[in-house]
Amino acid sequence: MEAILQKSLQIPSAQVYLPYGTAGFRTVAHNLPQACFRVGLLALLRSHELKKITGVMITASHNHIADNGIKMIDHNGEMVPIAWERAIEAFVNAQDFAEVLREKFSNPIQGDVFIGCDNRPSSPELLSCLQQAIEVAGGTAHNYGELTTPQLHWLVRRSNFSSKLPASAYIDYLNQASRLYTSLPQTYNYENDLIIDASGGVGANTLRLLNITGLNFQIVNTEPSLLNEGCGAEHAHKIRTCPRNVPVGLKCASLDGDADRLVYYKSAENLNVLGGERLTVLMCLALKKLLDEENVEGKVTVVTTGYSNSASLEYLEQRGIEIVLVATGVKYLHEAAKKAEISVYFEANGHGTIIASENKLASLKELNAEKLLAFLSLANEAVGDAVADLLLSEISMKILDFSLKQWEELYHDYPTTIIGVRSPIKEQIKTSENELEVVEPANLVNKIQEITHRLADQKVRVLLRPSGTEPIVRIFVEALSLDTCKAVANELREFII
């Protein structure tokens, strides 16, 4: 324990309190070394207690290049249980660290922690803090270096089922599972040319290793020094202008910085982005078709958040699909999705996956539903995975014989806008559990009610919440016209600044 304490004293501490946010810790990189050290210890402790591999990923995903972050991975490849977040936050911010260490690290511990990072300039140093913590406490850090977040989740999950896997096992899995794509006949409307914007992030490394006969893709935006600068899934989804280096008029997809989010669009000056809601609809339709073709029963449930365009929910409801709405953060979607037989879960920003219950998979095996099983096996079972989702989307479009335009024209979105605002009342804003309503402070609650009442004929819907990854409040507005959306967003911005 003394060695751990001595080592920790050599690692710079944050000058500020670090809250556990939507996807772990995230802030300017220079405030993270001590937090990385402490999270390394916790991941090792968890590994020791379970006698299973755990993981930690250093990434700030869609954030600015100067930020960084820490995402913890549990033994099953999923994010750590939500119930522990406050305890993790307390450990990371503890002032009496010697005391806390004495409580938890007095006895020798052993364990295995898989660690990896994105390609930010600050990532190697933070990775080293993690590694030092694990090693000084007596554990083994398996350093995978640069890789995508879903790749590390996948490696932790699968290595706990078999032996410790090399990073290349994930690429082999993607290439193997993509044989379904190649086995499907080329259809009339499906377009197999695709531009992929890698956002300057680690996804480009994975994409370069894909070997999928028949899918012609070109990767753009691969420079790490320009990470998330005018490109990527977050840019396309929030700013809605064409990412840099993307030629106009083509079928395109954008990943985010750590490749756990995906959006599609036809490149144009102003984008009509096919985000998580569209991925959901596309995959639900493909699943339904496969269920019918293979003549098996199966209930598909959709889990998403209040950011999803109401038009997508109406489209799904009309087709008898049950929809569950939860709070922002894939961890909430994943938890809800686990309760269903087959779930398609995506946030509107393109973060999500498909999961099926053990029982359902066993019954599909018994029924020899080969195509359906091949489709489901491509989905990352633990977390949103942009590359796996891209392959699932291409397979879905091929199964349904959809061009991008046909996919786009399935229904028409209601106009929406989303803005991020720095606000002095960010910490005071509280929402209902599924975030559909603001419940505090009272004057903001009244303001939103007054607006929605005043513009009832415009069917205004407001989702306002503090971001858990950036120092901003997100204001989302849906209405019958874009002008109304913008006016309402602006009125609320004025109210909270």
Q: Which residues are catalytic?
A: 61
Q: Kindly tell me which of 155 and 399 has the beta carbon lying closer to ligand G16.
A: 155
Nearest distance in Å: CB 15, ligand G16 = 22
Nearest distance in Å: CB 479, ligand G16 = 21
Nearest distance in Å: CB 24, ligand G16 = 8
Neighbouring residues of 336: CB distance < 8 A, sequence distance ≥ 6? 303, 324, 326, 343, 345
Nearest distance in Å: CB 48, ligand G16 = 27
Choose, by CB under 6 A, the member of 78, 347, 385, 435 that binds ligand G16: 347
Q: Kindly tell me which of 301 and 353 has the beta carbon lying closer to ligand G16.
A: 353
Stretch that binds ligand G16, among 158-166, 283-291, 462-470, 477-485 (CB under 6 A): 462-470
Q: Kindly tell me which of 306 and 329 has the beta carbon lying closer to ligand G16.
A: 329
Which of the residues 234 through 253 are near ligand G16 (CB under 6 A)?
none
Cα dihedral 115, 116, 117, 122 sign: positive
CA–CA distance, 468 with 146 (Å, rounded to integer)? 24
Nearest distance in Å: CB 272, ligand G16 = 21
Note whether 261 binds ligand G16 by CB under 6 A: yes
Choose, by CB under 6 A, the member of 159, 205, 309, 349 that binds ligand G16: 349
Note whether 61 binds ligand G16 by CB under 6 A: yes
Q: Kindly tell me which of 178 and 206 has the beta carbon lying closer to ligand G16.
A: 206
Choose, by CB under 6 A, the member of 401, 437, 468, 495 that binds ligand G16: 468
Q: Kindly tell me which of 78 and 112 has the beta carbon lying closer to ligand G16.
A: 78
96 — phi, psi (to 5°)? Answer: -90, 60
Nearest distance in Å: CB 377, ligand G16 = 24
Stretch that binds ligand G16, among 10-18, 186-194, 347-355, 433-441 (CB under 6 A): 347-355
Q: Kindly report the three-state secondary structure assignment for every residue of the chain.
A: CHHHHHHHHCCCCCCCCCCCECCEEEEEHHHCHHHHHHHHHHHHHHHHHHCCCEEEEECCCCCCCCEEEEEEECCCCCECCHHHHHHHHHHHHCCCHHHHHHHHCCCCCCCEEEEEECCCCCHHHHHHHHHHHHHHCCCEEEEEEECCHHHHHHHHHHHHHCCCCCCHHHHHHHHHHCHHHHHCCCCCCCCCEEEEECCCCCHHHHHHCCCCCCCEEEEECCCHHHCCCCCHHHHHHHCCECCCCCCCCCEEEEECCCCCEEEEEECCCECCCECHHHHHHHHHHHHHHHHHHCCCCCCEEEEEECCCCHHHHHHHHHCCCEEEEECCCHHHHHHHHCCCCEEEEECCCCEEEEEECHHHHHHHHHCCCHHHHHHHHHCCCCCCCHHHHHHHHHHHHHHHCCCHHHHHCCCCCCCEEEEEECCCCHHHCEECCCCCCEEECHHHHHHHHHHHHHCHHHCCEEEEEECCCCCCEEEEEECCCHHHHHHHHHHHHHHHC
Choose, by CB under 6 A, the member of 38, 46, 62, 158 that binds ligand G16: 62
Note whether 381 binds ligand G16 by CB under 6 A: no
Stretch that binds ligand G16, among 213-221, 396-404, 468-476, 477-485 (CB under 6 A): 468-476
Q: Kindly tell me which of 61 and 396 has the beta carbon lying closer to ligand G16.
A: 61
Neighbouring residues of 130: CB distance < 8 A, sequence distance ≥ 6? 36, 37, 39, 40, 56, 58, 113, 115, 141
Q: Kindly tell me which of 149 and 458 has the beta carbon lying closer to ligand G16.
A: 149
Which of the residues 12 through 31 are near ligand G16 (CB under 6 A)?
22-23
Stretch that binds ligand G16, among 44-52, 209-217, 265-273, 327-335 (CB under 6 A): 327-335
Q: Kindly tell me which of 341 and 437 has the beta carbon lying closer to ligand G16.
A: 437
Beta bridge partners of 305: 326
Stretch that binds ligand G16, among 6-14, 50-58, 91-99, 345-353 (CB under 6 A): 345-353
Note whether 474 binds ligand G16 by CB under 6 A: yes
Choose, by CB under 6 A, the member of 78, 256, 389, 478 that binds ligand G16: 256
Stretch that binds ligand G16, among 8-16, 138-146, 401-409, 466-474 (CB under 6 A): 466-474
Give the count of residues interacting with ligand G16 (CB under 6 A).
Answer: 18
Alpha carbon distance, N-terminus to C-terminus of the chain: 47
Note whether 330 binds ligand G16 by CB under 6 A: yes
Note whether 458 binds ligand G16 by CB under 6 A: no
Q: Kindly tell me which of 5 and 472 has the beta carbon lying closer to ligand G16.
A: 472
Choose, by CB under 6 A, the member of 139, 200, 306, 329 that binds ligand G16: 329
Stretch that binds ligand G16, among 176-184, 363-371, 404-412, 467-475 (CB under 6 A): 467-475
Instruction: Determine the residue type at 488.
Output: V
Q: Which residues bind ligand G16 (CB under 6 A)?
A: 22-23, 61-62, 256, 260-261, 328-330, 347, 349, 351, 467-470, 474
